[in-house]
Amino acid sequence: MSTTAEILRDRPIIPVVVIESVDDSPRLAEALCEGGLPCAEVTLRTPAALDALRALAAERSVLVGAGSVRTAEQVDRAVEAGARFVVSPGFSDAVVARCRELDVPALPGVATATEIMRALDAGVEVVKVFPAGSLGGPDGIRGLVAPFPTLQVVPTGGIGPKDLPGYLAVPSVLAVGGSWMVASSLMKARRFDEISRLSREAVAIAARCRS
């Protein structure tokens, strides 16, 4: 199995998408690929999410994960639909254990040092820090991870393109998650050209930061 660190190593940005209609999946896949960002965390927050995840995963051009996963049962359903990684807003032993059973990389969320310690105890090496913006941004991340030198983090929540350089400059930041390039307003208006443009812009910023 690939680890979370392995699948994110060359993917510094994870688009976090809320899909309302399964019919939007092919166009979204195309837009993300055109933008050079062939990856998506499909949040299980809408009735269409699982079918949309399945349709997106079938496109094969996009690495698709499931987001907002809170239970082991959701892990089963997401993996059955084609999710290649599983993201949670918080830390759940049950979710992490089921991911391990199914050999699927887990990216559990943390917001405190106590939660990081629980994650490390469960053998997790990469965590999502959520909601990163409200936790003090890049400086907040630096403070939070200081006692955990081996930990890698994926800040998510309240992040926009102008914030990327600050986050990517933090050594423990493996990747950054965010919905700005696939915002609900863009999805609802089917502005796939704009999704490609914002994706391309994000990729360019990340490339400058990581070069």
* Beta pairing class for 39-43 and 63-67: parallel
Rule CB under 6 A: is residue 156 a binding residue for ligand 3PG? Answer: yes
* Closer to ligand 3PG by Cβ: residue 103 or 167: 167
- Restricting to residues 174-193, name those near ligand 3PG by CB under 6 A: 177-179
Shortest reach from residue 189's CB to ligand 3PG, in Å? 17
Confirm whether 41 is a catalytic residue: yes
- Which has the closest alpha carbon to 179: 55, 30, 28, 72? 28
- Restricting to residues 91-120, name those near ligand 3PG by CB under 6 A: none
One DSSP character per residue, 61-118 reads SSEEEEES--SHHHHHHHHHHT-SSEE-SS--HHHHHHHHHTT--EE-EE-SHHHHHH
Q: CA-CA distance, 13 to 97, in Å (whole number)? A: 25
Q: CA-CA distance, 22 to 5, in Å (whole number)? A: 29
Confirm whether 115 is a catalytic residue: no
Looking up tokens 């930041």, which residue turns up?
Answer: 173
Catalytic residue, candidates 30, 34, 59, 128? 128
Rule CB under 6 A: is residue 16 a binding residue for ligand 3PG? Answer: yes
Catalytic residue, candidates 41, 73, 115, 125? 41
- Which has the closest alpha carbon to 130: 89, 91, 163? 89
Per-residue x/- track, 56-95, ligand 3PG (CB under 6 A) = -----------xx---------------------------
Considering only the stretches 78-86, 91-99, 114-122, 157-165, report the one whose residues sit in contact with ligand 3PG under the rule CB under 6 A: 157-165
Applying CB under 6 A, the residues found at the interface with ligand 3PG are 16, 43, 67-68, 130, 156-159, 177-179
- Known catalytic residues are 41, 128
